[in-house]
Structure 1
Amino acid sequence: MSRLTKKDIFRIVEEEDVAFIRLQFCDIFGTPKNIAITRSQLQSALDNECRFDGSAIDGFGKYAQSDMYLYPDIDSFDIYPWRPQSGKVARMYCDIYTSDKKPYASDSRYILKKVLSEGKEMGYIFKADPELEFFLFDLDDEGQPTTNTHENAGYFDLAPADQGENVRRDIIMNLEDMGFNIVSSHHEISPAQHGIDFTEDDAAKMADMIITFKMAVKTIAKRHGLYATFMPKPKEGVNGSGMHINILCEDKDGNDIFRDGDDLSETAKQFIAGILNHIKGMTLVTNPLVNSYKRLVPGYDAPVNVSWSSSSTNHSALIRIPSMGSASESSNVKGARIELRNPDAACNPYLALALILAAGLDGIKKKMATPEELVEDLKGKTEDEIRDSKLDTLPKTLGEAIEAYKNDEFVKGVLGEQIFGQILDAKHKEWKDFRTCVTQWEIRHYLGKQ
């Protein structure tokens, strides 16, 4: 049931003096796009009559049409609190439809909704809780981003060592105005690295929230004279930024599907097995950049092996189970959650969540058995020592991720042949461009010796 009606939207727009409404969507890589309309065009937009040129959107390519339609999700209506308060700006997330008024197959939001609908038919309702990390860097004299910072703070440090404290405070206040329930914020392990945690929500809504979060962080950081980046590994020698994704599952009555007393349920273990079975083929989507694989290396608190652990303290496992507390204390515990630790915030959150949930559902449908649990914490182990553990590893480069992706029929089935091929073509080009690029590392190591 909808939270808002069309009548509510008109009333809010009038009462809050909203001058512009952004009809927002994203391309296949998760880059936000929008068409801004004035309130005089609101009726037309709510009647699903707003058209745009789909062929101009990156990744839609030859499959798109020049006339496509945006169908606003009225429950996603929100006012941007950081915009001017006279003549305010609001937004609604939209689904994309073709000229004959059918859902567009390459609409990321549509793909996620299909997976969630399948889960609901099986009796599962999914929530997601991401943990996004980002860096706040200085701008140069021309206003361009750098990787420079004047601070050297670490985990949980306070001001004055933590020079981003006021920026985080401003970000949180704006996000709370947009309905985010912020749990905590803190300085992360690397200098200039930060994290803000918020509570779980419906998986479809959470994908929208991730897009909003990134936009808010970047906008407010710029207002403070800083540049916020979600680039996975912007600097050598320090930990990169991830987007761990926690998955929770309930039935229609709100009962925790992943919990059986004080332990994980059999359904949860099958869900984990499904993710582990398909993770290598999904990695091109969850970790989509050449730079993503600079983060997924031993020694920097990022997972490199295909493994799981029920221990909340084993951060070397790809999947871990955060502390569930005791069943007798369930009223104070949010529920059992499965934390996948390899994704980064450069991903398209709609497609990443769609693949993760579809893989878990595949594990449930096929009653997959989880592999042997990773008991030893591999943190601090070398690449050779990890190899000796006989564990399978995640792709080490974008090139390896491309090979795993293109050979995974399951991933193609979830995404659909059209968007599967579009992503593959784009990433082939990116990998070729990188392989032909001469880096400063090569210049330093070879120029004076050869």
Structure 2
Amino acid sequence: MSKLTKEDVLQQAKEMNVKFIRLQFTDILGIIKNVAITVEQLEEALDGEIMFDGSSIDGFTRIQESDMYLKPDYDTFTVFPWRPKVGGAVARLICDVYTTDGKPFVGGPRNILRKVLQEAEEMGYTMYVGPEPEFFLFEKGDNGEPTTITNDQGGYFDLGPSDLGQDTRRDIVLALEKMGFDVEASHHEVAPGQHEIDFKYSDALTAADNIATFRFVTKAIANEHDLHATFMPKPIFSEAGSGMHMNQSLFKGKENAFYDPDDRLGLSQIAYYYIGGLIKHAKGMTALTNPTINSYKRLVPGYEAPVYIAWSASNRSALVRIPDAQGLGTRVELRNPDPAANPYLATAVMLKAGLDGIKNKIEPPKEVVDNIYDMSECAKEDACIDSLPGDINIAVQYLLRDEVIKEALGEHILNRFVEAKQIEWDVYRTQVHQWELDQYLKIF
């Protein structure tokens, strides 16, 4: 239930001198789309009467069933603080997509997450998520095109003058806070030009909205500094890629259902079952949590990204880590997602996997306390430690075998997502890449 009413939004728009409103939603790949209206149409929009052509959005509808409605979530109303106020401010509302018969559109990623959240609610749980998205800041070329030239040579937790991106990062944080974010921390990451901004955990739907908002705000503010921000998982060879660790917990009312003070790690049986579900469905989820060909250039040993399907409270080489927090802060951290993921679909499949673990009482494997990167192949086999898929094509095959994850997505999104990934893979595998020319052209 929205905290804000229609009247609240109309009043805020008036007080803030809003002239334009962007009605935002995401496509299946997680790209933000929007329909812009003037404030004179706001009341009509708040009543869910703004229509758009769904056939123009990849994966949405067929031509003969193109009309769709945008129903705004009143609580997402906010003004873009970086836009000039001359002539009126610009605001946005995040919308759910509905069909002409008044039903939630099965191809709307936000609707998919709502559906799985409803399943959790029926089991008595509310999901909370704390994301840790990373990104790169690159210089622009003479014609304004993005390059892969970083604007600094800083490292982990560096500050100026090594961290030349700190002013941009500061302005991103300030913009996010003005838009209602509760930013917990921001810092330079491991690679040159790489940064991380963490915002406080929130209910899963708000967290997914925040991730989507964070990405376009970061790009907009970086552009103001004549920089290009990218959430591409692995833009630079030999440097660490960008991840988006997802801290997850389930609450029953005001109590953290993952916490048990009598357990060695402070975890309840529900938490262990949830971990069991994440481990069981790790391969089936990967196409959603790591959805691009480039995602798998990050998921290789040696660059801090998790490759091995295991869990641990003590080392960061495992896929699932248990941060050292107790009580309300008890949580499970999934470390393989990257910031190119559609936040609604990624959150939906993670929750669906965890709920399956709870429903079917799936015990996780034994905790792995050793650094998996240092273990021999024999030792990994003895410990039954499997690996994530090595590329998006293999990940899609695992997705198609996982009935639980397929159920979370629904037939419409599943079919169109798989089709998009198969086309992407086919184009990639038939291209002649620069590496091949460098490696073979002179030799053969």
By the TM > 0.5 criterion, same fold?
yes
Q: CA deviation at 1:150?
A: 4.3
Task: State yes or no: 1:295 paired with 2:289.
Answer: no
Judging changes above 3 Å, is the alpha-carbon distance between structure 1 residues 227 and 384 closer, same or farther for their aligned structure 2 residues? farther
Question: What's the counterpart of residue 44 of structure 1?
Answer: 44
Partner amino acid, structure 1, of 2:221:
I
Q: CA deviation at 1:151?
A: 2.0
- How far apart are the structure 1 equivalents of 2:284 and 2:63? 24
- How far apart are the structure 1 equivalents of 2:305 and 2:432? 27
Q: CA deviation at 1:2?
A: 2.4
Task: State yes or no: 1:200 paired with 2:201.
Answer: yes
Describe how 1:25-424 pairs up with structure 2 within 5 A.
25-62=25-62, 65-86=65-86, 87-252=88-253, 254-261=254-261, 263-311=266-314, 314-325=315-326, 330=327, 334-379=328-373, 390-424=384-418
- How far apart are the structure 1 equivalents of 2:81 and 2:332? 33
Partner amino acid, structure 2, of 1:112:
L
Partner amino acid, structure 2, of 1:94:
C
Deviations 1:197-256 (A, max 9, x none): 11000100111110110111100001001000000000100000001100021112x111
Judging changes above 3 Å, is the alpha-carbon distance between structure 1 residues 216 and 382 closer, same or farther for their aligned structure 2 residues? farther
Q: CA deviation at 1:384?
A: 8.4
Aligned length: 440
Judging changes above 3 Å, is the alpha-carbon distance between structure 1 residues 38 and 344 closer, same or farther for their aligned structure 2 residues? same
Contact 2:79 2:91 in 1 (8 A): yes
Judging changes above 3 Å, is the alpha-carbon distance between structure 1 residues 138 and 98 closer, same or farther for their aligned structure 2 residues? same
SS of alignment partner, residue 92 of structure 2: strand
Deviations 1:129-170 (A, max 9, x none): 000000000000000000012421100111000000100110
Judging changes above 3 Å, is the alpha-carbon distance between structure 1 residues 21 and 197 closer, same or farther for their aligned structure 2 residues? same
| RMSD of aligned Cα (Å) | 1.5
- How far apart are the structure 1 equivalents of 2:268 and 2:237? 41
Q: CA deviation at 1:12?
A: 1.0
Partner amino acid, structure 2, of 1:43:
E
- How far apart are the structure 2 equivalents of 1:127 and 1:296? 26
Stretches of 4+ aligned residues off by more than 6 angstroms = 382-385
Contact 1:298 1:381 in 2 (8 A): no
SS of alignment partner, residue 376 of structure 1: coil
Q: CA deviation at 1:62?
A: 2.5
- How far apart are the structure 1 equivalents of 2:151 and 2:345? 36
- How far apart are the structure 2 equivalents of 1:284 and 1:398? 6
- How far apart are the structure 2 equivalents of 1:35 and 1:339? 35
Deviations 1:249-308 (A, max 9, x none): 1112x1110010061100000001011111101111110100000000000000111110
Judging changes above 3 Å, is the alpha-carbon distance between structure 1 residues 390 and 271 closer, same or farther for their aligned structure 2 residues? closer
Q: CA deviation at 1:429?
A: 0.5
Partner amino acid, structure 1, of 2:424:
E
Q: CA deviation at 1:64?
A: 7.6
Q: CA deviation at 1:390?
A: 4.1
Question: What's the counterpart of residue 445 of structure 1?
Answer: 439
- How far apart are the structure 2 equivalents of 1:382 and 1:441? 30
Contact 2:389 2:395 in 1 (8 A): yes
- How far apart are the structure 2 equivalents of 1:302 and 1:385? 20
Contact 2:151 2:165 in 1 (8 A): no
- How far apart are the structure 1 equivalents of 2:9 and 2:62? 35
Q: CA deviation at 1:403?
A: 1.2
Partner amino acid, structure 2, of 1:422:
R
SS of alignment partner, residue 142 of structure 1: coil
The percentage of aligned residue pairs carrying the same residue is 52
- How far apart are the structure 1 equivalents of 2:151 and 2:67? 49
Deviations 1:63-90 (A, max 9, x none): 8822110011111111111111230011
Contact 2:154 2:162 in 1 (8 A): yes
Partner amino acid, structure 2, of 1:300:
Y
Unaligned runs of 5+ in 2: none
Judging changes above 3 Å, is the alpha-carbon distance between structure 1 residues 175 and 236 closer, same or farther for their aligned structure 2 residues? same
Unaligned runs of 5+ in 1: none
Partner amino acid, structure 2, of 1:298:
P
SS of alignment partner, residue 152 of structure 2: coil
Q: Taking structure 1 as the reference length, what is the TM-score of the superposition?
A: 0.95
- How far apart are the structure 1 equivalents of 2:60 and 2:220? 27
Partner amino acid, structure 2, of 1:55:
S
Deviations 1:34-68 (A, max 9, x none): 10111111111111110000011012142882211
Q: CA deviation at 1:449?
A: 1.5
Q: Taking structure 2 as the reference length, what is the TM-score of the superposition?
A: 0.96
Contact 2:308 2:372 in 1 (8 A): no
Partner amino acid, structure 1, of 2:104:
P
Judging changes above 3 Å, is the alpha-carbon distance between structure 1 residues 84 and 380 closer, same or farther for their aligned structure 2 residues? farther
- How far apart are the structure 1 equivalents of 2:355 and 2:161? 47
SS of alignment partner, residue 34 of structure 1: strand
